[in-house]
A and B are shown apart, each in its own frame.
Chain A
């Protein structure tokens, strides 16, 4: 094993979280985010909360910000639809919000049930005034997430970073599970 040659982009996201003093991370179970979730769970400086629905993240993030802490929400594109009304809180309260979204339902997806919300994800986020960023290359992840954190916590924006299916890998039950 040669750990020096390759730094996994998921580990880079965790490093960027630490650089930006992220204290609370919210997630639902997600294969695409699992490595990052585990890194956060093992961290002493980050409180990691498993949610029952992505909706909870908006209230939690607002509460954390009221109390002076920064949070990031990890979800899958299918969860975006659950958040839309409460996403409006980011406008009415005008608080920083960042979510990293692992995409499903993009070209190559095998599961037809994932297409409607996957294809709708950027549109509904934009409709709610969320700044939507996107990354499909591993070597661009670190800078994209860093910029997203700056837009959120320095620029006061609600930001979503779409981690494209091309980046994560097309799920195929024939090759891998979960």
Chain B
């Protein structure tokens, strides 16, 4: 049984409020993509439509290439689980400008809300997961600054940590299961990449 009360859309709007040219955002496929787009599509957002498992590595490659910018990865629990060992690669590099925010609804949302591995174990025959704790995994991979956020009262601190605290920062946020409108950015990956580079580097 999920006890999450945080709603992902207002949360992501707060995380991205006042985003300027110093904030580079990568979002994983599916809900996280629609979330950052609902908060306001911008050239320095890279919302993925596929490439499951590549979100954290993409944030790391970008953070190392742009050490003076803040890089924020926003993604779901299942995207991270697909190449969860990428957290160890992040820990090995210790990028001080990288923050990772995992929106964990304990479901495979895009395919019909089946229980994901982060769901509790004894949750009935069709809704049980493994009780996987991604913050603990991040800690075990060597990321020292990890935490789990469940309550509205913790959101202001979360936003500050993701936007400003010395990285690598990892935050797991338990969010509600909701049926939300799809808010879609452009789909053409080459266009998304080119507009990002144009805004950041002045050339596509």
Q: Is the CB of A66 within 8 A of B189?
A: no
Contact with A along B6-24 (1 / 0, CB 8 A): 0000000000000000001
Alpha-carbon distance A69/B86, docked complex (angstroms): 20
Q: How large is the interface on B (under 10, 10 to 19, 20 to 34, 35 or more residues)?
A: 35 or more
Alpha-carbon distance A60/B89, docked complex (angstroms): 10
Residues of A within 8 A of B (CB): 23-24, 47, 49-53, 55-69, 71, 85-86, 88-89, 92-95
Q: Is the CB of A66 within 8 A of B93?
A: no
Partner of B51, one of A23, A47, A86: A86
Alpha-carbon distance A49/B63, docked complex (angstroms): 13
Q: Are A62 and B61 also in contact (CB < 8 A) when A53-B85, A92-B190, A94-B193 are?
A: yes
Q: Is the CB of A67 within 8 A of B89?
A: no
B56 within 8 A of A: yes
Residues of B within 8 A of A (CB): 24, 26, 46, 49-66, 69, 83, 85-86, 88-89, 92-93, 189-190, 192-193, 196-197, 200-201
The chain B residue sitting closest to A58, CB to CB, is: B54
Q: Which residues of the partner chain A approach B92 to less than 8 Å between Cβ atoms?
A: 49-50
Alpha-carbon distance A93/B46, docked complex (angstroms): 11
Q: Are A68 and B89 also in contact (CB < 8 A) when A53-B83, A56-B57, A88-B50 are?
A: no
Q: Are A86 and B54 also in contact (CB < 8 A) when A52-B88, A53-B85, A68-B197 are?
A: yes
Alpha-carbon distance A71/B60, docked complex (angstroms): 13
Q: Are A63 and B60 also in contact (CB < 8 A) when A68-B197, A92-B190, A93-B193 are?
A: yes
Q: A55-B83, A60-B58, A66-B61 are in contact. List 8 more A-B contacts (CB 8 A).
A: A52-B88, A56-B86, A57-B57, A62-B58, A63-B57, A65-B61, A68-B201, A69-B64
Q: Is the CB of A60 within 8 A of B50?
A: no
A33 CB to closest chain B CB (Å) equals 17
Alpha-carbon distance A50/B50, docked complex (angstroms): 24
Alpha-carbon distance A69/B69, docked complex (angstroms): 14
Q: Which residues of the partner chain A approach B54 to less than 8 Å between Cβ atoms?
A: 55-56, 58-59, 62, 86, 89
Q: Is the CB of A51 within 8 A of B89?
A: yes
Q: Are A93 and B190 also in contact (CB < 8 A) when A60-B61, A66-B197 are?
A: yes
The chain A residue sitting closest to B202, CB to CB, is: A68
The chain B residue sitting closest to A47, CB to CB, is: B64
Q: Are A63 and B51 also in contact (CB < 8 A) when A47-B64, A51-B89, A93-B190 are?
A: no
Q: Is the CB of B64 within 8 A of A52?
A: no
Give the interface centre of B49, B62, B63 by most chain A CB atoms within 10 Å.
Answer: B62
Partner of A68, one of B46, B66, B86: B66
A-B contact pairs, 25 of them (CB 8 A): A24-B61, A50-B89, A52-B83, A52-B85, A55-B53, A59-B57, A63-B63, A64-B61, A64-B62, A65-B61, A65-B193, A66-B61, A67-B200, A68-B200, A68-B201, A71-B61, A85-B51, A89-B50, A89-B189, A92-B49, A92-B189, A93-B189, A93-B193, A94-B190, A95-B193
B114 CB to closest chain A CB (Å) equals 20
Alpha-carbon distance A66/B47, docked complex (angstroms): 13
Partner of A63, one of B50, B59, B88: B59
